[in-house]
Every structure is written in C-alpha cells, then in structure tokens.
Amino acid sequence: MTSNYVYFPFVFDEKILGFDRDEVYNTLRKRNTFARNYFYPNTNHVECYKNQYNVADNPVAKYISD
C-alpha cells in the first residue's frame, strides 16, 4: 500500500510551541497551503451522536478536538 498523503494531521500545543494552531493556519494560508479543523467538533458534539458517547470516556479525542 502506498500513501497518497491526503491527510497529515498535527496537534498544536501553544504552551510547548509558543504559537497556536490559528497562527500556523494563517501562515500556511498566506503561502497557498490550505488546512482545516479535521477532528472538530468532537463526535459527542455532533447532533446524531450527541447522547451516545461520554466525553469522559475519550479524553484524547477531547484534547485533540479542543
């Protein structure tokens, strides 16, 4: 199997990097590289799944979505 590099997810922690996701997004956009919030909102916030998942059971998903 060969990757087509369609998705390249990053998680930005402003406390560690000194800049946030929005700053990276804006810098990329200025260079005609377009990104999006792929893992947002967290599944438990989507209407059709709203009462099916407990966010406390998925702390990593919550962290990435936040």
What is the average per-residue pLDDT within 24-50?
Answer: 85
The pTM of the full predicted model, rounded to 2 decimals, is 0.57
d(CA 49, CA 46): 6
- Give me the pLDDT at residue 31, please: 96
Per-domain boundaries in the chain: 14-65
- Give me the pLDDT at residue 29, please: 94
What is the average per-residue pLDDT within 26-52?
Answer: 84
The mean predicted confidence, pLDDT, of the chain is 83
Residue type, 36: R
